[in-house]
Chain A
């Protein structure tokens, strides 16, 4: 029978805990039927809403058409919704006390966050694929070369990782699932105040200032340029700097909060 005796416990390879937690979070995602359904339905509804309800009134879009204009915005908006569940999942883990159990084990407890973040990125990449497919059906006509697609994919993935990490930090700070939901809500409005759905110059001047200088606009602009075969130029750089900055803050905030919340259920 078993040969695992007391004291023979070996030191697991580096990253072992992260892999186990990634496996855990993916299982959680696959078992969350409602969440999966929402991840697929939300992009479809949003696309339908913007293309068929608002789209008719949008006269600014040029040759490419409104569908091509809004695909990056829809991707970023849905990524926000998709990532927001990370806040509730993290808050839930704190609330049930399972995180405290992980902390009493000879592992790096914060690896549990890695699992949540990786699973969220994977979920959102699936949702992104759905958006692109639905977009293609509705009239999205990208003209990117493979390199352009790769560039867009990189920016989208970095953005999803950033916002997921931010939601993970919110989940840690919130203290309860309900609070995590409430705090996270604010972030979901940012895509509307960007160049995602209408050009910034159609907004009143005070709002233009907000839209122009908030992080989501360069992210959307660079994705749009890359997908439409253009040059993302400085937008890509600005987007990456924004993401890197937010990521650093979110990781620092998370690690401080994670340590502080030990045993404070």
Chain B
């Protein structure tokens, strides 16, 4: 098996704070890997190391077979990054952004024009091509951001929280594009705070918590750890009084409810597990604490 991304024992500290703690992550060529974690888990630092922006303190990281420190220039020729804050040039138009990046990458004027037209069309930006990016919606910015990163047909694409802050429709569009990239043979590493995003896109997920991988596996394996769906029971005033695990079948829901001894249920809803649930499940197994997840579970009773 060849790995497009091969990370061993990767550690990074900022001052005394350990941001990445002995990470091991391997991503097979052509697959999508999601790094799932809350804010401050170290996701962006991880991407920064893999994209040659930040030097690790110890451990190794190879991208496309090249070490990110020793052979940074080779890595940069194979990758592209789409940042959390959609780093595009606000003053320029969408077309100018694409052309500028294409020219930077050494395409000729004519090639830049052809590639720019292709990408504008592919990302449904052709109508807005001549508008300044400062007038764009969040979804349009992300689409342009991704379009820019595809100019030179990278082998490995890094997406740092590609859909944070987007509306549902823009999110779907971006998901479709990510899936399309995979069919073109591109390896993708994305970070996200949303389990459903990792679930929808990833072949494999690493759950990151305070710089450590606390769980890894396919989406199905991780959800199995959570114990599938959750029944929420609220009283008449809408206050959450119980959270119960279920496999989602009507029979199991009834069984779970009656076994719990819930008497005064006002409203019962069934929901999919969220990132918090995954965290609670994996961190309680590994024995570490996760205050954020726990806090949301301490519901009124």
Choose, from B96-104, B236-244, B263-271, the stretch at the interface.
B96-104
By the criterion of a CB under 8 Å from any partner CB, how many residues of chain A are at the interface?
A: 33
Residue among A98, A101, A263 making CB contact with B54, cutoff 8 Å: A263
> Are B104 and A105 in contact, with the CB atoms below 8 A?
yes
Nearest neighbor of A101 in chain B, beta-carbon distance: B87
> Are A6 and B53 in contact, with the CB atoms below 8 A?
no
> Are A24 and B89 in contact, with the CB atoms below 8 A?
yes
Q: List 26 A-B contacts (CB under 8 A).
A: A2-B118, A4-B107, A4-B111, A4-B115, A9-B152, A11-B106, A12-B104, A16-B104, A17-B104, A20-B103, A24-B92, A27-B92, A27-B96, A31-B91, A32-B91, A96-B90, A98-B87, A104-B51, A104-B52, A104-B76, A104-B80, A105-B104, A106-B76, A106-B105, A263-B48, A264-B54
> Are A263 and B53 in contact, with the CB atoms below 8 A?
yes
Which chain B residues border A136 with CB–CB below 8 Å? none
Asked whether B262 is an interface residue with its Cβ less than 8 Å from the other chain, the reply is: no
Interface residues of B (CB under 8 A from A): 45, 48, 51-54, 73, 76-77, 79-81, 83, 85, 87-92, 96, 100-101, 103-107, 111, 114-115, 118, 132, 148, 152-153, 155
Within the complex, what minimum Cβ distance (angstroms) separates A67 from chain B? 37
Given contacts A12-B104, A100-B53, A102-B104, 8 further A-B contacts (CB under 8 A): A1-B114, A16-B104, A24-B100, A31-B132, A103-B52, A104-B51, A104-B53, A105-B105
Which chain B residues border A11 with CB–CB below 8 Å? 106
Give bound CA distance, A13 to B111, whole Å.
Answer: 16
> Are A20 and B118 in contact, with the CB atoms below 8 A?
no
Which chain A residues border B92 with CB–CB below 8 Å? 24, 27-28
With known contacts A4-B115, A27-B91, A96-B87, A12–B105 Cβ distance under 8 A: yes
Which chain B residues border A4 with CB–CB below 8 Å? 107, 111, 114-115, 152-153
Nearest neighbor of A111 in chain B, beta-carbon distance: B104
Give bound CA distance, A264 to B54, whole Å.
Answer: 8
Q: In chain A between 119 and 143, which residues have their CB closer than 8 angstroms to a CB of chain B? A: none
Nearest neighbor of B50 in chain A, beta-carbon distance: A104
Q: In chain A between 99 and 117, which residues have their CB closer than 8 angstroms to a CB of chain B? A: 100-107
> Are B89 and A104 in contact, with the CB atoms below 8 A?
no
Asked whether A63 is an interface residue with its Cβ less than 8 Å from the other chain, the reply is: no
Asked whether A5 is an interface residue with its Cβ less than 8 Å from the other chain, the reply is: yes
Give bound CA distance, A3 to B48, whole Å.
Answer: 31
Which chain B residues border A27 with CB–CB below 8 Å? 91-92, 96
With known contacts A2-B114, A2-B118, A20–B153 Cβ distance under 8 A: no
Asked whether A230 is an interface residue with its Cβ less than 8 Å from the other chain, the reply is: no
Which residue of A11, A102, A106 has the most chain B CB atoms within 10 A of its CB atom?
A106
Which chain B residues border A32 with CB–CB below 8 Å? 91
Nearest neighbor of B153 in chain A, beta-carbon distance: A6
> Are A10 and B79 in contact, with the CB atoms below 8 A?
no
Asked whether A97 is an interface residue with its Cβ less than 8 Å from the other chain, the reply is: yes
Give bound CA distance, A102 to B149, whole Å.
Answer: 11
Which chain B residues border A106 with CB–CB below 8 Å? 73, 76-77, 105
Within the complex, what minimum Cβ distance (angstroms) separates B153 from chain A? 4
Which chain B residues border A102 with CB–CB below 8 Å? 104
Give bound CA distance, A11 to B107, whole Å.
Answer: 9
Within the complex, what minimum Cβ distance (angstroms) separates B107 from chain A? 6
Which chain A residues border B104 with CB–CB below 8 Å? 12, 16-17, 20, 102, 105, 107
